Amino acid sequence: MEHIISTGPMQVVEWVRDDHAYLEAVPYNHWRFNPDVSVLRMVEVPEESARMAMLRTGEAHVADISLKNVNALVEDGFATFARGAGDQLGVFYTGNLWETEHAITGEPIDWGGVYVHDQPQIGKPTDPADMEEARQVRWALAEAIDREAINEAVLNGLGWAEYVEYCQAQSPFFEQAWKVEYDLESAKARLKNTAWPDGFEIALYPQMPHAIRPEVADAISGYWMKLGSKMAVSVNKYAYSIFRPGVVGRSTVIPWVTSCDEGRTQWPFDWPKAMVMTTLTRGGFGCGNESPELARWFLENSKEPDKEKRIATNRQVCDYLSYWQLGTGVVGMPVDIPYNPKRIASWTSDVNVWGEQIFVGIYKIKLTGK
């Protein structure tokens, strides 16, 4: 990071992107309290086996570990920090830029060349036939995923199936009409009516670094490969700092496995949805797709004081997201972060709105003094 602007009980002394960070506690007279943690070192370790080894040898006291390996660490005497939150992982289809003007300013939108080459999963908004063909492709990709099997194999059965991003399957507002059944034959039949009856080449990027996303992406690619003899899926595993400029600039056409900000199980259903799937965040983070309908509904709900009306609007949002499959849900997972109880006495925090497997609230750790 070149210019860090922030406030909090800890200050960044050094941050080398994709490598390490060094933080120190801020004196009490500059913040609300003094954290027990006076010095925090965060190190980027790509291999999970190495992260687990660091925990076991005492080289690290907290680590991002996939759910399937958390139980083994608990059996070894490690504790877990469960934040009362969940993470909704799905596939977002970048390049589907359907707004022609900015939702607020009205300025014409630059599509950044995403329609130069015909991508099966991307629909051009000026061509209704292409929009429908791309929708069928995305539905084929959605139906080809066995979510329950991924939950068992990758999450050790600790998660659950998801179907539509931002419309959580465990929510009391979830409707069965939004469910996507695993049906390979139906998926193949959908492709037969497109220009790619036997499959096509497609890349998939798992937002990095993360203990789960690469494995989920690998599992998805395996299911997609069954769609036809010409199906070729590559999972590109590289630093998020390389991928991010493409979604900020709305220039990438590579689908990615992510929660894309709002895929959180703890977000109330009535909150305005899918801002990051619109031009409202142009110039900053986005999912890589944009919809005028989603922008309109978000703006309506942002100023609507009646909760029931917001819920009614969000049902329309979920109907729309289900129909177009712009963000296909795959699995949901609880957030459990293992830590060393010999060094950390307790770790409590309020439920964080993001809910990811990240160390928000680490400054609230109480040390054992050992």
The total of other beta-carbon atoms located within 10 Å of residue 271's CB is 15
User: Does a structural domain hold residue 26?
Assistant: yes
Tokens of 122: 């991307």
CATH of the domain at 61: 3.40.190.10
User: Does a structural domain hold residue 5?
Assistant: no
- 324 and 217 fall within a common domain: yes
What is the pTM for the complete model shown? 0.83
Instruction: Give the side-chain half-sphere CA count within 13 A for 276.
Output: 19
Local structure of 328: helix, strand or coil: strand
Residue 215 has pLDDT above 70, yes or no: yes
- 167 and 303 fall within a common domain: yes
Task: Write down the pLDDT at residue 360.
Answer: 62
Residue 1 has pLDDT above 70, yes or no: no
- 146 and 291 fall within a common domain: yes
Q: Nearest Cα to 338, choosing from 87, 22, 75, 25?
A: 75
For 69-112, give the DSSP string: HHHHHHHTT-EEEEEEEEEEEEEE-TT-B--SB-TTT-PBPP-T
- 130 and 75 fall within a common domain: no
Local structure of 167: helix, strand or coil: coil
User: Does a structural domain hold residue 4?
Assistant: no
Q: Are strands 344-346 and 366-367 parallel, antiparallel or unpaired?
A: antiparallel
Please classify residue 15 by burial: count the beta carbons closer than 10 Å to its beta carbon, then call 0-12 exposed, 13-18 middle and 19+ buried. Answer: middle
- 113 and 252 fall within a common domain: yes
Residue 116 has pLDDT above 80, yes or no: yes
Give the C-alpha separation, 330 to 92, whole Å. 11
User: Does a structural domain hold residue 1?
Assistant: no
Q: Note the pLDDT tens digit of each residue in 92-104.
A: 999 999 999 999 9
Domain count, the chain: 2
User: Does a structural domain hold residue 121?
Assistant: yes
Give the C-alpha separation, 52 to 61, whole Å. 10
Q: Note the pLDDT tens digit of each residue in 35-91.
A: 888 899 999 998 889 999 999 999 999 998 888 888 889 899 999 876 556 889 999
- 202 and 301 fall within a common domain: yes
- 133 and 273 fall within a common domain: yes
Q: Quick check: bond before 35 cis, omega within 30? A: no
Give the C-alpha separation, 87 to 257, whole Å. 12
Give the C-alpha separation, 184 to 142, whole Å. 10
Task: Write down the pLDDT at residue 307.
Answer: 97
- 28 and 162 fall within a common domain: no
Higher confidence at residue 250 or residue 31? 250
- 79 and 182 fall within a common domain: no
Residue 309 has pLDDT above 70, yes or no: yes
Domain of residue 361, residue span: 10-85+337-367
Local structure of 331: helix, strand or coil: strand
Task: Write down the pLDDT at residue 352.
Answer: 56
